[in-house]
Amino acid sequence: MVQKVAVITGSSKGLGYAIARQLAQKQDIQVVLTSRNQQDGFAAQQKLANENMQVNYHPLDVTNDASVQEFATWLEQSYGRVDILVNNAGVNPTMEPEESSLFTVQMETMLATFTTNVVAVARITQALLPLMKANNYGRIVNVSTEMASLTSMGSDYYPLAPSYRLSKIGLNGLTAILAKELAGTNILVNAYSPGWMQTDMGGSNAPYTADEGAETAVYLATLPEGGAQGKFFAEMRKFGGAIALPW
Ligand SMILES: NC(=O)c1ccc[n+]([C@@H]2O[C@H](COP(=O)([O-])OP(=O)(O)OC[C@H]3O[C@@H](n4cnc5c(N)ncnc54)[C@H](OP(=O)(O)O)[C@@H]3O)[C@@H](O)[C@H]2O)c1
């Protein structure tokens, strides 16, 4: 059986690790765990091995062009294919006091947030798309947030968080643009909101676990041919199924 190769960015902890773990439980998927810190990556790989899940590991800093190019070459030489890309790696400076208002937000922070949450997603996607196109198969999952929904921007209860929100709006836009470019192919790209989760980013007061947040990513990573293209999904747990959110 030819296994599908699944790459998850930032998967040594948090949501990325939970997604890697759930995908690794599927017989037909070979997971490639990635992280910018090798020690963290090997530790996560070992944790999964202790649960009898054999995943591969490779270092990857999505903001570093050389790292992304080296990773793409390694994937091509190791597998000659990529079937699933989960763009999970992200940063969130919302707890910084300046992030409580657009009047005080620091431009350096905004730029750094865009660099990881938008530009880096464009970079890794561009680098790996040829390995999907070669087989006319791909599932790309962009981890967004309901804080990026312009429709509920004026009424939701979340912090203002200008840098984070604007960056994830950018990520949603990237999803829509890429979907248009991929129309008519069997490469499907979608964004989703995993909900507020107990991770280093979400903190311990969050209502959901990373495992719960991972469910929708796994659904989108394994969509059948003809499945959703260019949509923004809510976490399935909240609605008992796959529901597209308004942009
Ligand atoms: N937690 C929530 O409530 C929540 C809600 C909505 C959406 N999200 C989204 O879910 C995703 C995962 O967040 P999380 O909650 O799991 O947060 P997390 O525990 O802070 O994990 C973030 C991950 O991204 C990695 N990362 C950051 N910059 C990177 C880079 N340049 N290259 C490679 N990896 C990088 C981190 O690696 P290091 O360990 O090296 O820093 C870490 O593995 C993010 O996109 C976030 O915006 C989270």
Q: DSSP labels for the chain?
A: -PPEEEEETT-SSHHHHHHHHHHHTSTTEEEEEEESSHHHHHHHHHHHHHTT---EEEE--TT-HHHHHHHHHHHHHHTS---EEEE------TTSGGGG-TTT--HHHHHHHHIIIIIHHHHHHHHHHHHHHTTT-EEEEEE--GGG-GGGTTT--S---HHHHHHHHHHHHHHHHHHHHTTTSSEEEEEE---SBSSTTT-TT-SB-HHHHHHHHHHHHTPPTT---S-EEPPHHHHTS--BPP-
Which amino acid is present at 180? Answer: K
Confirm or reject: Cβ of 91 under 6 Å from ligand 1.
Answer: yes
Predicted confidence (pLDDT) at residue 2 exceeds the cutoff of 80: no
Query: Taking residues 228-244, what's their average pLDDT?
Result: 90
Q: What are the CA-CA distances from residue 161 to residues 39, 98, 111, 171 (Å)? A: 31, 9, 14, 15
Quickly state the pLDDT bin for 166 (edges 50, 70, 90): very high
Mean of pLDDT over the chain: 97
Told to judge if 17 belongs to the known catalytic residues of this protein, a careful annotator would answer: no
Look at the chain and count its residues: 247
Q: Which of 92, 121, 238 to mutate to test the pocket of ligand 1 (most atoms within 8 A of CB)?
A: 92
Beta bridge partners of 32: 7, 56
Predicted confidence (pLDDT) at residue 226 exceeds the cutoff of 90: yes
Q: Check residue 177 and give its pLDDT.
A: 98
| 121 Cβ contact partners less than 8 Å away, ≥ 6 residues apart | 62, 87, 142, 171, 174
Cα 165 to ligand 1 centre (Å): 15
Quickly state the pLDDT bin for 67 (edges 50, 70, 90): very high
Query: Taking residues 31-52, what's their average pLDDT?
Result: 98
Predicted confidence (pLDDT) at residue 241 exceeds the cutoff of 90: no
Quickly state the pLDDT bin for 224 (edges 50, 70, 90): very high
Quickly state the pLDDT bin for 14 (edges 50, 70, 90): very high
| Catalytic residue of the set 17, 57, 79, 164 | 164
Q: Which of 61, 64, 85, 91 to mutate to test the pocket of ligand 1 (most atoms within 8 A of CB)?
A: 91
Query: Taking residues 143-161, what's their average pLDDT?
Result: 94
Predicted confidence (pLDDT) at residue 141 exceeds the cutoff of 90: yes
Rounded distance between C-alpha atoms, residue 31 and residue 22, angstroms: 10
Confirm or reject: Cβ of 205 under 6 Å from ligand 1.
Answer: no
Quickly state the pLDDT bin for 239 (edges 50, 70, 90): confident
Confirm or reject: Cβ of 116 under 6 Å from ligand 1.
Answer: yes
Q: How far apart are the first and last CA of the chain?
A: 39
Confirm or reject: Cβ of 14 under 6 Å from ligand 1.
Answer: yes
Predicted confidence (pLDDT) at residue 24 exceeds the cutoff of 90: yes
Structural domains in the chain, CATH included, are: 4-239 (3.40.50.720)
Global pTM reads 0.98
Predicted confidence (pLDDT) at residue 1 exceeds the cutoff of 80: no
Q: Check residue 242 and give its pLDDT.
A: 86
Q: Check residue 137 and give its pLDDT.
A: 98
Ligand 1, atom 44: closest residue by C-alpha? 90
Cα 168 to ligand 1 centre (Å): 13
Quickly state the pLDDT bin for 154 (edges 50, 70, 90): confident
Ligand 1 atom with the smallest distance to the CA of 40 is 39
Query: Taking residues 37-58, what's their average pLDDT?
Result: 98
Q: Check residue 120 and give its pLDDT.
A: 99
CA quadruple 113, 115, 119, 125: dihedral sign? negative
Predicted confidence (pLDDT) at residue 237 exceeds the cutoff of 80: yes
From the list 31, 53, 34, the residue with the least C-alpha distance to 42 is 34
Q: What is the pLDDT of residues 82-136, one digit of tens each?
A: 999 999 999 999 999 999 999 999 999 999 999 999 999 999 999 999 999 999 9
| 166 Cβ contact partners less than 8 Å away, ≥ 6 residues apart | 110, 113, 114
Rounded distance between C-alpha atoms, residue 32 and residue 158, angstroms: 33
